Amino acid sequence: MLRTHTNTTDADQHIFDVNGEPIKVAPGESEQYLDADSRPASIDGLIVAISDDDVYIGYAQPGTAENALGWIIKKKVSAGGVTKYLLAEGQWVLRYRFDLRASYNYN
């Protein structure tokens, strides 16, 4: 399920994404993320974009432009008969731009 967390305190807070990884939320900041009950194959309310260059898959809320922040991006990587999907900056959060997909680190 897509969630939004807003830090209304004076200290950094951490939330956990679908992979159990902590995401730092600074004071006064908001972060959208998918919680541990979410699965990439069934993301309700999100749009999907697939690029034609390397295989990148992006998820965002309907109406999010490719040049706007608010995307989760996966990159398909195949080697030695094994296919993996790596996440932009290793995070399953809606904070990236799909048009900048090639500039991110994937792990």
Please check the confidence at residue 51 and state whether its pLDDT lies above 50: yes
DSSP letter at 90? T
User: pLDDT band at 106, cuts 50/70/90?
Assistant: very high
What percentage of residues in the chain have a pLDDT greater than 70?
73
Cα angle for residues 81, 53, 96 (degrees, 5° grid): 100
pLDDT, tens digit, for every residue of 2-41?
A: 677 788 888 887 776 666 566 778 888 888 776 655 544 4
What does the mean pLDDT of the chain come to?
Answer: 78
Q: CA–CA distance from 76 to each of 1, 15, 55, 92 (Å)?
A: 23, 26, 5, 15
Nearest in space to 91 (alpha carbons), one of 12, 1, 15:
15
